[in-house]
Amino acid sequence: MAGSRVVALGHYQPAKVLTNDDLAAMVDTSDEWITSRVGIRTRHVAGPDEPVDELAAHAGAKALAAAGMVPADIDLVLVATSTAINRSPNMAARVAARLGMTSPAAMDLNVVCSGFTHALATADHAVRAGSASRVLVIGADKMAEIADWTDRTTCVLVGDGAGAAVVEACAEGEEAGIGPVLWGSVPEMGHAVRIEGTPPRFAQEGQSVYRWATTQLPPIARKVCERAGVTPEELAAVVLHQANLRIIEPVAQKIGAVNAVIARDVVDSGNTSAASIPMALSKLVERGEIESGAPVLLFGFGGNLSYAGQVIRCP
């Protein structure tokens, strides 16, 4: 079957901004401590009246508008999130209702920080199989709601937001705009990143995650490029999960994408889990930092110690 492509992007963040100085008034930390260890300066935080599906719907609406489409054009909605507190209706169904869609298939994917790249691959597969023609793919998380605001090692990391992509089938004879996915996990290390308990709380083993990400992931990311038929040197941009600047920069360097723009949205947005990749990509495109059609590596990693990546052509 014909491949698929990303035709438009959109993102949304809550208005409230939490600075490092704000956090220093809440826990034993400082701007210097946070920036030197994780590179984050600010993050956006949603209020109690801003549920995850609202963030997701705002991003989805922007992506649809950028694509010149209306909600009725979408036949599949995929929402990647790990912060859906209510189990049913799922986030995808809630988003579809908010956007006024009529009869789309609607599914959530919980692969935590690599959720968006898993969802993007699922959208591509659905289009290739002929079970969908136009897909709205959203990564959305409200990490502030599950943060332990007394734990300075984790609360300084998190932010809230959503990013979205519209995916559609390529025309006959058109080159695929979404390359093959390479995905997997390390189940025996799944405990290294957790969202557990009642109420659920985010916790992680920071050093274990750092060592895994900086040593094991660069070779996998290079294999993603190989599957797509591009070299790291040909990449126009690299958008990694925005976990921590001390992870993003060494991993990007080890990939060898010497000519690429490296997304560093984590500095302004914090770790937004499944939202981080589409949000960072949407901002790069909005600012005109990537040319249309240029190859971009998307690579998600994190919770479950899972990973998924693909090379796409920039819309």
Strand partners, 203: 194
pLDDT at 1 over 80: no
Q: What is the mean pLDDT of residues 131-136?
A: 97
pLDDT at 172 over 90: no
Percent above pLDDT 90 for the chain:
97
Please choose, from the candidates 96, 58, 98, 52, the residue with its C-alpha nearest in 3D space to the C-alpha of residue 200. Answer: 52
Please give the model's pTM, rounded to 2 decimal places. 0.97
Q: Would you call 137 exposed, middle or buried from its count of C-beta atoms within 10 A (0-12, 13-18, 19+)?
A: buried
Q: What is the pLDDT of residues 2-47, one digit of tens each?
A: 899 999 999 999 999 999 999 999 999 999 999 999 999 999 999 9
Question: Reduced to 3 states, what is the DSSP secondary structure of residue 313?
Answer: strand
Q: What is the mean pLDDT of residues 90-118?
A: 97
Distance CA 62, CA 59 (A): 5
pLDDT at 259 over 80: yes
What's the confidence (pLDDT) of residue 62? 98
Read off the pLDDT band of 298 (50, 70, 90): very high
Question: Which DSSP category does 198 fall into?
Answer: T
Q: What is the mean pLDDT of residues 100-104?
A: 95
Q: What is the pLDDT of residues 216-230, one digit of tens each?
A: 999 999 999 999 999
Percent above pLDDT 70 for the chain:
100
The catalytic residues are: 113, 241, 271
What's the confidence (pLDDT) of residue 107? 98
Read off the pLDDT band of 166 (50, 70, 90): very high
Distance CA 224, CA 252 (A): 13
Computed over every residue of the chain, the mean pLDDT equals: 97
In order of 15, 54, 159, 161, the CA distances from 50 in angstroms are 11, 6, 13, 10
What's the confidence (pLDDT) of residue 2? 81
What's the confidence (pLDDT) of residue 85? 82
pLDDT at 52 over 80: yes
